[in-house]
Structure 1
């Protein structure tokens, strides 16, 4: 199979018929073998009923429905697991991403060494309350990840080699940083393609202001896990040892000053009467705790067997 199109959706009943028909026209025009995987992220409208009706007339469509809303990352992760195509295309279900971009994205993957091609909505039709924070997060992500050639990490329209989606795990709000996940997994040839962005035709956006806080926290998680996930002792242990050493030397200094004052016959305050004593005590305790944290983290696998288990109601 040439292409798998993975589309996560939440309350998109109006756009689904138009979107799937648009994809079908593009695929037939270029003679692609394909599948469309629609992942219903616990929609409260009639989206699932629409998917069932589309399945009756469009054999390339398959649907996965969550019992409740888990989020876009969960929907993508399940869609990636189900995808069978040599190239996997992701796009949003709101008709803001154009299926006309699919042939070029497919050719970029198949005719070059690219592992991932990410869309860049150079001209956006979103309000400033969305575009300005997005630019800020893209800038921070570029500098933290070292992927300097991408302008829009969060663009829903992307193309992947099959090996990429089968090698990464998407959870939390990490769908925003899939190129970073791909890089940490060893897929370093990440390219960009300018794509068209259309105004939303139906409904309203499903993402609120809280996504920025969650997204930033997940970026820190990716950075930590990618750099220290296999060696947490290098992170916690290093900081712990430094803290312990600082506290130890402060304690030694206080003891030395006390002994010197006794030898000189001068009056000197008790060690416990000095603020430095409590600073050294805190440093030693924190250092010990961090070292033990790193040791325990080395014994516990970061990959929980239940982290990506979702309750799927139906598969058609």
Structure 2
């Protein structure tokens, strides 16, 4: 049942979606007519007439944010989320591959259950192999390396409570891992099946070149999850293993030297010395990063934890 007291912010990043904008605005207006809402359209410095198309059709419930240059989807999303004032914040793509008709079902899901984030799982995804293959790899890696059992991290259609959305920090291409960001912040998450359509207008902005960016962001996120507060455990362990390997090689060569063998021209000697120095460097790197981590929290008066709520009886 609809809660008339709730206000919803729909955030849509746009880049060269001139032909999709009228359909997007009219469809959202029709679907959300029984809700109190605002539609926040973030134009990420489009090179076509996206902004003009919005201004021609925009009504009182539409907000247009125009960025000064092309910052990318993560920054565009954060600009919209920062501006949003809704009790719940809904994100979706502007290419109309997400179906706004799924929004009421997702709103009902987050209102009736104690979830912080409801995300869509695209059924019969209408994308080519260039988009689906890297996505499947990333989804598999996340499921195997975290406790987050979500199958479609790349789906843009999501419904957050306001606090969860406002606590997101998105950089680079990390909008693709919003669900993992929220999970690391302690959000309660569920996944629901939604419709997915083929793009009717415009061209996809996703190319195979973005795959390396996605992989780099994923590695960074996994590091943050396991080692942000204890980096010495990662660098220290690798450093110790490398140092010990080098020392074992050097001890072996020293024994051979005492036995009368020549070791001066052997590549193994170079490897042994190199491993010792690399091990020392890795260990000291872990110490330095550990100090930087403490400075990061203490200088901003942050705490390495989030409190869900405090009940006083």
TM-score interval, normalised by the smaller of the two chains: 0.7 to 0.9
Structure 1 residues 173-252: aligned runs within 5 Å: 173-187=173-187, 189-252=188-251
* TM-aligned CA deviation for residue 192 of structure 1: 0.9
Deviations 1:70-99 (A, max 9, x none): 211111122222221111111111111111
Q: Distance in 2 between matches of 1:272 and 1:210?
A: 46
Pairing 1:119–2:120 present: yes
Q: Look up the match of 1:297.
A: 289
Where does 1:41-52 land on structure 2 (aligned, <5 Å)? 41-52=44-55
Quote the residue 2:306 is aligned against.
none
| TM-score using structure 1 length | 0.85
> Which structure 1 residue ranges, 4+ long, deviate > 4 Å from structure 2?
301-305
- Higher Cα radius of gyration: 1
State whether structure 2 residue 264 is matched by structure 1 residue 272. yes
| Structure 1 residue 271: Cα displacement | 4.3
1:24 to 22, 26, 29: 29
| Mapped contact 1:96–1:199 kept (Cα < 8 A) | yes
Q: Give runs of aligned pairs for residues 49-64 of structure 1, distance below 5 A.
A: 49-55=52-58, 58-64=59-65
* Alignment-derived partner of residue 279 in structure 2: 287
Q: Secondary structure at the match of 2:287?
A: helix
CA-based RMSD of the aligned residues comes to: 2.2
SS of the residue 1:117 aligns to: strand
Match of 1:311 in 2: none
CA distance in 1 between partners of 2:296 and 2:220 (Å): 13
Identify unmatched segments of 5+ residues in structure 2. 1-5, 300-313
Secondary structure of 1:300 counterpart:
helix
8 Å CA contact retained: 2:246, 2:275: yes
Between the aligned partners of 2:162 and 2:96, the Cα distance in structure 1 is 24
1:156 equivalent in alignment to 2:159: no
Could you say which structure has the greater relative contact order, defined with CA pairs below 8 angstroms and 6 or more residues apart?
1
CA distance 1:33–1:96, shift in 2 (3 Å): same
1:95 aligns with 2:96: yes
CA shift at 1:19, angstroms?
A: 0.9
CA distance in 1 between partners of 2:286 and 2:133 (Å): 38
Shift in Å, 1:303: 6.7
| CA offsets 1:102-141 (integer angstroms, 9 cap, x no match) | 1111111111011211111111222334334433332233
Unaligned runs of 5+ in 1: 262-267, 306-316
Contact 1:87-1:161 within 8 A present in 2 as well: yes
